Amino acid sequence: MTGLAPGTSPGAGTGLSPVEVAEVPAGAMKSGVVKSGTVKAVTGDGGRVGPGDGPSDTGDGALGMVRVGVEAVSVEVAPGGTAAAGAPTRERPAREEWDAAVRALRSLPTGASVLLACHVNPDGDALGSMLGVGLGLRHIAGELGISRLEATFPGPLELPPPFDRLPGVELLVPAGAADPAPDAMIVFDVASIERLGELAERLRTTPVGIVVDHHASNPGFGGINLVDPGAAATSMLAEGLLRRLAAPLDAQVAECLYVALATDTGSFKFASTTPAVHEFAARLIATGIAVGDVSRRLFDTRPLGAVRLFGVAQARTVLEQDCADGLGLAWTYVTLDDLAEHGQPPAAVEALIDAVRCVEEADVACVVKPVRPDEWLVSLRSKGGVDVSRVAVDLGGGGHRFAAGFGARGSVAGIIASIRDRLRASG
């Protein structure tokens, strides 16, 4: 593209140059997000503006993504109109939020305690983002005045394979042993404060509370909120914070962030896998991480007991073709007895939802997983026809448009009935 003004000197404390505006014809947006009119694209150093990063989770085609290097800037375009810097074009998070986060962490008292936390039953994005930032902060702890740096999450401190081999696991402490009054607390991939469990009160009372997240349902419950629903993974925001703090990106930090990115994009298969995602992955890989080994641990390694357990659960999969206004629902479940029979922990069935979502005849996939007798965790996925986050939120959970979940009590039949009812209502 031509005619883009080059970036000027970096903004104070952000590591990014002040944004400038350049018009880009809608036809240049190869993703088809902007179907008419002109996008006034935001550009930084070097004036690079990439094509739109694909449809937004709103599904209405009115919100696209323009890349600023590897930065994502949300752009709203009315049909036939123009999106310009200012009200209709907004960087997520806002520059003021980034500046506030950097300023707060650079203003900590000498000997400060910093607590990192993620949500209960953490997944790869939560753990990878948290530990990646932890390792990055450890590199510059002296510069920031940090003397105590811990990472934790609610509930038992148990890490299932392959996450038990992540760099930085030595930073983890049980929630009860973590500093009860840290000078700063940063939470990762937490859509609502309730997902912090017993750690929630620490976030409410800490002098510096920073939320780093990419859930659209996040209400902004931190003192500083680095939230971008357009980001494919929380790790993209985690890296943005580290970069603005000038923390080095070494192979250990990169491995954590790569695990986070790969898991939340389904090994780069989901619709959230944009050009910016691949650019980010390339920078992480360039640090020297063993991508083959990491990917094999994440996606292609499973104990024999888990393989057999998956077979049992898949064999009982039910297809309800008429559900979700004819788009179809495929669901299955695992019991505590199933886990015991095959010698597997609850975490062993986290990937089962990926097998169920392969059912060709159904847009919506569901797996009901046991926690305790009559207590369950429910995973929901959609191939694009249904906003499963609405179902999850209505049932006390949350998540993304096409990947969500909630906790429930009662029978499997009752839980499926409640999902079925919400799918009928959403149709």
Residues above pLDDT 70, as percent of the chain:
78
Residue 36: pLDDT band with limits 50, 70, 90: very low
Question: Tokens 């991508």 label which residue?
Answer: 291
Task: Give CA–CA dist 298/300, Å, rounded.
Answer: 6
pLDDT of residue 425: 76
Question: pTM of whole model > 0.85?
Answer: no
More confident residue, 51 or 103: 103
Q: What is the pLDDT of residues 130-161, one digit of tens each?
A: 999 999 999 999 999 999 999 999 999 989 88
- Other beta carbons less than 10 A from residue 258's beta carbon: 27
CATH 3.90.1200.10, domain 96-299, yes or no: no
Per-residue pLDDT at 217: 85
Three-state secondary-structure class, residue 391: helix
**Mean pLDDT to the nearest integer, 91-120:** 95
For the chain, the average pLDDT equals: 82
User: Confidence class of residue 120 from pLDDT cuts 50, 70 and 90?
Assistant: confident
Domain 304-426 falls in which CATH fold? Diaminopimelate Epimerase; Chain A, domain 1 (3.10.310)
Cβ-in-10-Å burial (0-12, 13-18, 19+) of 331 comes to: buried
Taking 50 as the threshold, does the pLDDT of residue 20 lie above it? no
**Domain boundaries in the chain?**
20-89, 96-299, 304-426
DSSP assignment of 192-232 equals: SGGGGGGGHHHHHH-SEEEEEE--TT----SSEEEE-TTSS
Query: For residue 193, what pLDDT is reported?
Result: 95
Task: Say if residue 287's pLDDT is above 80.
Answer: yes
For the ranges 203-212, 266-275, 279-288, the lowest mean pLDDT is seen at 266-275
DSSP 8-state code for residue 172: B
